[in-house]
Structure 1
Amino acid sequence: MLQEPVAFEGVTFEIEESKVPGDYALKLKKNNQSVYVISKYKPKDNLTKLINLEKCNKKTMFIFIGYGMGYLAQHITNVIGKKTQIIVLEPSQQLLDAQLAITPATPNIVFFSGTNFNVLRNEIRGLINPLNIKDISVVMHPHYDEFYTEYLKDALSLISDIKRGIQIDINTVKKMDQNYIKNCVANLMHINKSRDFAYHKDRYKDIPAVIVSAGPSLDKNLEYLKDWNGLIFCAGRTIVSVRSIGKDADFAGLIDYKKVINQTFMGHNDVPLIALLDAGNTIIEEYRGDLYFVEHTPIAREMAGINLPKVNIGGSVATLCLDAAHYMGCNPIVFIGQDLSYSGNQSYSETCNIHENRERIAQRLENKKGIRPIPAYNGGEVLTSNTLLVYLRWIEHYIQSCDRTVEFINATEGGAKIAGTIQMPFKDVVEKYKHITKPQIEHNLLLQEPIDLRWKLEECIKRLKRTSTLCREAADVSSRLSYQYANFNPGRSPKMINQLRTRMKALNKKISSAKIDTMVGYMFSNSAIDIMTDDTYKRQLDKKEYADSAGIAQGHENIYKALDESIYKVIDVINTQLEKETSENKTEPVT
């Protein structure tokens, strides 16, 4: 025996020499049960049967449950290549250290052990993305699920939550398509009258702020808001809730890109509004209150050379309000109506004047499709949807990433438990902080002098057209590369391939320097994601080198064509907006 048994949550282990010289066996023990995770007989051969590499490609990312003496990692690295991404979850640090002492890790392996799942979440979030989400293979070493049942339940649930969030992002991109650039261009026409949100950065140090969300628990404590003297942030649909008790919101948030969002404001379009530049233009067009534009991508800088404050958002308007309050220096930041779940078969507070079919909600909860239990504010469990769970996890991660001096209070008094928050009845929160009064809020213009938007957008079109020309040449070069690989001639192809690859490198550099990624992003992603995730255009294990390269070059050709098509869609959107401005006899030039 090479390693003394070490306990981890009741599990001990032993590492011993196997029947194969130089190889080792691993045994786990718990409650008088003893099982070999790695067999004493041909340990490496038995482990390679856990996965069928024929279904993998050279972009596949592997998540191992257990290191398994590194044998399976070595096998996969040898077959696929040294750049293969492997994440290893080994519950016990002692067990991991014992294995690494025998089989050192290679640079392509990332390890996680212990119970700090925030570290695991950050690690996996940095590795999983829309382009590889279909190429993830989770491999469970034998018997780990029997010995680390609860641990693995939490770890695998975390991985599923991250993948679910990415899938929601993909679906959002598909739905937004041209809406993103249409809203950005239309809203940009209001930039000269917009206000400067950067002016508010850290201006409200230690001023309490409450975020009023529309969850059903808002009915419990809205009345106490009457005595609140700090800042009030609202979603569009809770402006009416706040006004129903004689108060007014200091800021409302807007992130939704759809036209129907107009209905949620119910005509209350005079509260200072913090809006994403790509938010629904139907609201912006008719808004009477002070407008603050912010962005989560540098679209205003790409289109018009304007720098707007960058915000972090997690899919719901409450996340925009949260980031805005933090940006402004507010402390504490308080949540009410932030149920993030179904409380009493409701989705919304009755104060929002939304008619809900509670029978339909009850049927959905009973059906349990897309529904799961999570820890509740008041103990026990509450039911939530996959989408609401993504919002919850985002908020928890945001809180965890903030400075510890900022206090977050969940005063919802119902719904989901939000990790990282202090739970306190809103009545007590109001009593504790009512002596602090917010200062006078000033709404200063973003631009001291109006800019010529027509000229800015016409220059933007010229840049897009120049990039389009580069994309067409890149598509042609990719096509010629694909031909050379598919019809490889040892005498002339190597020289031709080298010349084409050199030209492609130069074209890629010019396309990257054009700074149009954000403008074309959503439409291009819609077209390109199917190409980029298609196995036809990835390096396959069962293809010869030149056939493999031919497929990849063909994929690149299709990607450049998709980019060119997206560029012209953006140009069309800009031209349409400029024509609209002219036909409506708006100021010439557009200012």
Structure 2
Amino acid sequence: MDFYNNNANILKKIDFDLFNKISKINISNNLYNIVKTRVGDYTLKIVSDDILDSYECFLHSKYNPKKEAVLFANAQIDNNVDINIVYGFGLGYHIEEMLKKIDRDKKLYVVDINLQVFKLALILRDLREVLLDNRLKLIISDDEKYIATKLKGLLIDGSKFIIHTASIKTIPNKYQDFKFVIENWNIKKSLTDKWVNLLSENLEKNKNIKCKNIGVLFNKYKNKPLIIVSAGPSLNKNKHLLHKLKGKAFVFAVGSALKPLLEIGFKPNMFCIIDPQDITYKQIEGYENLDIPLVFLDTASSYTVSKYLGPKYIACNDVNRIENKEYLIDSGGSVATAVMDIAIKFGANPIVFIGQDLAYTNNEHHAKGDMYGEEKKVKNLPNMRKIIGQNGEVLNTTLGLLSFKYWIENKIKDTPDVEFINCTEGGVFIKGCKHMKLDYFIKNYISLKGK
């Protein structure tokens, strides 16, 4: 089964630097087990015992890798673009099939950061025909900056980025940031594809709502303390303290935090909804006629927005859909990140987070755990991620929540003139924030300044 010499001789001619690196690579038998499939081809069993990300999975089908590859190629190749880019060489089954599907005048770029797996592909399979195909371009390197630079130049109009999902599992742990970018791209693309029609429908219907843009309030709260209230499980620990902030700080709630606050008799100054799904109506059900302003993204659920009878402000995150470009917001993908960007544009300082767990603290979904009919306790699903919490504990989270964490941290880094404080009593550690309990913040930032 050793095809290495024949494959390597070709690689040496087409990419000497890659050949040189590959020739020096040692393969870890602890991470990759070679498995013979039912049809006689080979796949790899990937084993990770990392405390935060332990799993076992197959790189290709353990039954029929070639049949699986045909299905992948049929679903992914797009001959309407000049360049198809795929992350993950794997053992090359899907690359071989993609080259069969792609037009003669098109290019297929293959990106991978795992040299061990690529070397195994050269050992286990006869890839001479694949490597000699002049439509194939390899971007295989253990230098993540090199890969990022190459990808940046390719991800333009006229290209399609495809991810061989199983190959994400082969990204070495030392490249966690790179792995996150690839995974996050994958999930965002899936969500965009899933919601594109719903977003368009909401946009058209929301155009009929007569209200001001939230941009009219930008810079109206200069140096005023602003509390962003999210609905993470830890909100239950300190939401009662918000009464002490009445009239002393601007309290801006995400939609899912509205009911937990109203149920303790506290009315926030404003709340926000950006989700396109009609299930968000549950966030306001029974409270449709409040005097609390609702900020809604122009693609948010038109049903929920129309049901709310209180004051409204519209927000937009697309430069092509807004007349006054100064009113544009950066929504960041979640309602909490959207509120954060609006808070910064308000001119608020400091900006304080509560209920921003970004993880399933105590294995719970939200402060009001059954709002959407789900079980209160989160099931430990295989696609979950692990992260170290503020107190050193291991917490369950998701790729989506991690993307919001990194977005928030980058936004903090880009906003050095604003003080950010995390008063969430649980959940993840947010870089760039001061971390303290809410009662300490009230005593030292609000009460003392009021004297």
TM-score band, normalised by shorter chain:
0.5 to 0.7
Q: State how far apart, in whole Å, the 2-side matches of 1:327 and 1:399 are.
A: 13
Residue 387 of structure 1: aligned partner: 400
Aligned to 1:223: 240
Q: Offset of 1:87 from its aligned partner?
A: 6.6
Query: Which of 259, 264, 268 matches 2:283?
Result: 264
TM-score (norm 2): 0.65
Two-structure CA RMSD over aligned residues (Å): 4.2
| Paired letter, 2:310 | G
Look up the match of 1:279: 300
Alignment of 1:168-207 (within 5 A): 168-190=187-209, 193-207=210-224
Change (3 A) 1:327 1:126: farther
- Tell me which residue corresponds to 2:318: 297
- Classify 1:254/1:152 alpha carbon distance in 2 versus 1 (closer, same or farther; 3 Å): same
Quote the offset at 1:167 in angstroms. Answer: 2.6
Determine the structure 2 residue equivalent to 1:159.
178
Q: Which residue of 2 aligns with 1:345?
A: 363
Task: Give me the TM-score of the superposition, normalised by structure 1.
Answer: 0.51
The equivalent position to 2:345 in structure 1, one of 321, 327, 334, is 327
Contact map agreement 2:370 2:376 (CA 8 A) in 1: no
Q: Distance in 1 between matches of 2:18 and 2:153?
A: 33
Residue identity opposite 2:109 in structure 1 = T
1:520-559 matches, cutoff 5 A: none
Change (3 A) 1:291 1:397: same
The question of whether the paired residues in 2 share the 8 Å contact of 1:214 and 1:238 is answered with: yes
For structure 2, the 5+ residue unaligned runs are 1-15, 27-88, 100-106, 123-127
The correspondence of residues 438-517 of structure 1 with structure 2, limited to 5 A, is: none
C-alpha distance 393-154 of structure 1, shift in aligned 2 (>3 A): farther
CA 1:217/1:183 → structure 2, altered by over 3 Å: closer, same or farther? same
Superposed CA offset, 1:308-331 (max 9, x none): 822222332111111111121222
Which digits, 9 at most, give the CA deviation of each residue in 1:433-489, with x for residues without a partner?
Answer: 215999xxxxxxxxxxxxxxxxxxxxxxxxxxxxxxxxxxxxxxxxxxxxxxxxxxx
Highest CA radius of gyration, 1 or 2?
1
**Alpha-carbon distance, 1:214 to partner:** 0.8
Secondary structure, counterpart of 2:160 in structure 1: coil
Cα distance in 1, alignment partners of residues 448 and 316 from structure 2: 31
Is it true that 1:424 corresponds to 2:436 in the alignment?
yes
Percent of matched pairs sharing the same residue:
26
One-letter amino acid of the counterpart of residue 250, structure 2? L
Confirm or deny that 1:397 pairs with 2:410: yes
- 1:245, 1:262 → 2: CA distance? 20
Counterpart position of 2:109? 60
Number of matched pairs: 350
Paired residues of 2:227 and 2:354 also in contact (CA < 8 A)? yes
Task: State the alpha-carbon separation in 2 of the partners of residues 285 and 423 from structure 1.
Answer: 38
CA distance in 2, matches of 1:423, 1:126: 39
Partner residue, 2:40: none
Matched, 1:241 2:257: no
Q: Secondary structure at the match of 1:199?
A: helix
Distance of aligned partners of 1:415 and 1:282 in 2 relative to their CA distance in 1, 3 Å threshold: same
> Which position in structure 2 is the counterpart of 1:313?
331
Distance 1:189 1:23, change over 3 A: closer
The answer to whether 1:288 aligns with 2:309 is yes
Amino acid at match of 2:234: S
The alpha-carbon deviation at position 410 of structure 1 amounts to 1.7
| C-alpha separation in 1, matches of 2:249 and 2:17 | 66
Q: 2: CA distance between counterparts of 1:352 and 1:136?
A: 32
Measure, in 2, the Cα distance between the counterparts of 1:268 and 1:198: 25
Instruction: State the distance in 2 between where 1:381 and 1:233 align.
Output: 29
Q: Please give the alpha-carbon distance, in whole angstroms, between the structure 2 residues aligned to 1:393 and 1:123.
A: 23
Q: Which residue of 2 aligns with 1:111?
A: 146
Give a deviation string over 1:135-170, Cα, whole Å, max 9, x none.
Answer: 799799xxxx9xxxxx94031x33332233223223
| Counterpart residue identity of residue 216, structure 2 | Y
2: CA distance, partners of 1:126 / 1:407:
36
CA shift for structure 1 position 421: 2.2
